[in-house]
Structures are given as C-alpha cells and as structure tokens.
Amino acid sequence: MSFECSTRIGLILLIFLPLFIPILTLVYLFPVTENRCIELHSPDGIHSCILRAMDPQEATTWFNALHSAIGKSTQKALLDANRALVSIIGELKHIGWLSRRSGGEPVSNARFGCARWVGNPVLCSGAAASTIRLLNGRSSSESSDELDKWQSIFVAVTDRELRLYESAPWSVEAWSRPFESCPLVATRLAGAGNTSTVGSNSSTHSSVFCIRCGTTRGVVSHWLRSETNRDMAAWARVLVQGCHNAIICQREFSFRCLFQGRPCQLIVHLDRGFTLLDSGLGPASKALWTFPFDKLKGSADDGNKLLYLDFSGTEDGAELELDMECCPKPVVFVLHNCLSAKVHSLA
C-alpha cells in the first residue's frame, strides 16, 4: 500500500511513499496557520512528503483517508511482529506513532507538596541524566518556543512494558533496544487535556495525555500527543487495561526496605494486601505485621526514600515508616495500580 503524488514542472515527477507505519500529521515540522497541509514522513525520518490542500476541509478528507489506510497497515505490522517477538519482549498489544513534548516536566513530592523539574529523564532503562530546572519549568536560556516543541516517537505497549523508540524498529535487535522503557505495573495514565494544559502556545491539537512512571529516580512524566481523539482514547484504554492486566498477572511484588533499623522485605499482594517480613538471618522469614488493603487509610512519601503507610484506627495499627533505601515511587505506583485493578474488577 502506497501513496502517490505527482507534480508538473516541465515533466511529471512521481513520488511513492509506502503507507507502512509512516508518520502522518497535519502539523509537524512545518507548522502553518491555514491547517491545510498534510505531512507524511517515512518511519526512519529520512523521507518526507508535504502536501497542501485547497482548503482545510479537503486536507481533513485526505488526512482521514490516509489515517484509515495507515491504521490497517499498522495492525498487519502488529501481527507480523508478534510472530517473531512474543518470546523475546512479550506480546505486543498496541503500536504506533505519538508526539512527545520536549522540555522538563514536574516531579511532585506527595508528602510535602514541593516540586522539582527534570529534563530528558530516564525510566527504568535508558541513558539520559536528569537536569534540574527552575521552579517555573524553564531555565534561564529557554524560550516558550523551545517548550512548545514536539518530537515524534514510536511507542509500543507489550503485556509487561511501555517501550519508546526513536524510530520504528525493523529487526529483532531494534525491538530489543528501546531508548526508554518502564514496567506497566509502575506506570499510570495521569490524565488528558488540550495543549494549553502543558504550556503550549498552539491550540491546533487537543489530543494530549500524560503518562507517569514511578522509578527509583523519581516520577518521570511524558506528555504525549495523538493526531485524533479516537487515537488518544485507544491509547488510554490500552494503557489502563495493560497496567491492570500486568498487576493481575504478577499479583505479588517484593521490595527491600528498612523498618525500625532492621532489614526487611515489604510484600504487596493483590489479594492479601501488605506483609512485612524480617530479612534477618534464619531459615524462615518472620512476618512482623500484615494488613489487608481495606485497612489502609492513606499513604505518602518524602520523594527521597521514606514511605508512610497509615493503618491507624485498626487493631495494632499505626502510621508505619519504611526506609525503602531509594526513591519509593515504584512502590507507590504499584500500590495505586493494585487498588485501581481491584476497583475495576468490582465494576
């Protein structure tokens, strides 16, 4: 399946651009106020085809037709990829192109309500150092135009992970090397809104949503933009269901910690709730305390290493402080996803 365009300048020029996972957008590298340009970019970003319609209505008609054709080819690519990759990275649930907003995103402290800003953060894998920004989200040399930039990335949701690629992977090796990834059990869909929600000066796109990942480095936020509201709804559904299914599949999560100065292991179980095991010397671990989810009155953390679980008001209950020895956000996100999965199962 390909798209053909022609023009006459003394001769006929034919351009063939395969509609196999290309980047399709109305506004990308060359923003225009008329909203009548369609842009097609090859998956590797090398080749481009910029088309201008007579009016915005004609541009929308062509965009919808191309979007439908690309959607069909993407589904075929998903099936083909799963035949080769299911035993390597897990089953692919959803793939496609999204735009990611450049610039820093806030990382909030749940306990004290303060915030810090990071730029180009890393998830559980990847290579980019965090950069501290000013509290207004902009360094002294940044302009609003720099914060308004979007970059196309290829996104894949497997049965276990959210994976981000700079270009569409064409080999097993490329699929195995995302530039960022995060387990779904520690990933949350934070919300959706229009581009003005994230400080953008553009009002052209409204299909924007935020993904937050709890890591040992803190909370990493990604503002992502789809080309249509229907695409955004599909991504949101896949992410929410994927997080719930990942929790249900694993069910039990273990975290090393310190409790009252002694090495312990915090177990979060989807059915049994919280259990703290003594990790001291001995053939068997002793349970220091255990509480079901419905006894939890609240939780908080200091954004550094301390996690607070409030079981006060229950027999033998109190606000318990755990030293997670690293940022406690992975525990917090797993806890939130466990509670969300339980509520969803009741509904």
Distance CA 9, CA 303 (A): 62
Two tokens, residue 47: 């080749």
171 shares a domain with 27: yes
Two tokens, residue 112: 């004290």
218 shares a domain with 80: yes
pLDDT for residue 287: 92
pLDDT bucket at 138, cuts 50 / 70 / 90:
very low
Distance CA 186, CA 327 (A): 13
Is residue 265 a part of any domain in this protein? yes
CB half-sphere exposure, 215, CA atoms < 13 A:
20
pLDDT at residue 100 above 90?
A: yes
167 shares a domain with 72: yes
153 shares a domain with 245: yes
User: Average model confidence (pLDDT) for the chain?
Assistant: 80
Tens of pLDDT, residue by residue over 261-312, are: 999 999 999 999 999 999 865 566 789 999 999 999 999 999 999 999 999 8
Type of residue numbered 69: A
Q: What is the CATH number of the domain that holds 295?
A: 2.30.29.30
Which percentage of the chain shows pLDDT scores above 70?
A: 72
Greater model confidence, 53 or 328: 328
101 shares a domain with 25: yes
pLDDT at residue 36 above 80?
A: yes
pLDDT at residue 122 above 50?
A: no
- The 3-class secondary structure across the chain, one letter per residue, is CEEEEEEECCCEEEEEEECCCCEEECCCCCCCCCCCEEEEECCCCCCEEEEECCCHHHHHHHHHHHHHHHHHHHHHHHHHHHHHHCCCCCCEEEEEEEEEECCCEEEECCCCCCEEEEECCCCCECCCCCEECCCCCCCCCCCHHHHCCEEEEEEEEECCEEEEECCCCCCHHHHCCCCEEEEHHHEEEEEEECHHHHCCCCCCCCCEEEEEEEECCEEEEEEEECCCHHHHHHHHHHHHHHHHHHHHHHCEEEEEEEECCEEEEEEEECCCEEEEEECCCCCCCEEEEEECHHHCCEEEECCCCEEEEECCCCCCCCEEEEECCCCCHHHHHHHHHHHHHHHHHHC
278 shares a domain with 244: no
307 shares a domain with 183: no
Of 20-24, 120-124, 157-161, 314-318, the least confident: 120-124
pLDDT for residue 204: 45
Number of domains forming the structure of the chain: 2
pLDDT for residue 146: 52
pLDDT for residue 22: 87
171 shares a domain with 86: yes
pLDDT for residue 76: 93
pLDDT at residue 338 above 90?
A: yes
Tens of pLDDT, residue by residue over 185-217, are: 999 998 776 554 444 444 445 689 999 999 999
258 shares a domain with 342: yes
pLDDT bucket at 15, cuts 50 / 70 / 90:
low
210 shares a domain with 337: no
From the centroid of its chain, how far is CA 29? 23
| Domain ranges, residue 281 | 252-346
pLDDT for residue 193: 60
Distance CA 177, CA 195 (A): 30
317 shares a domain with 180: no
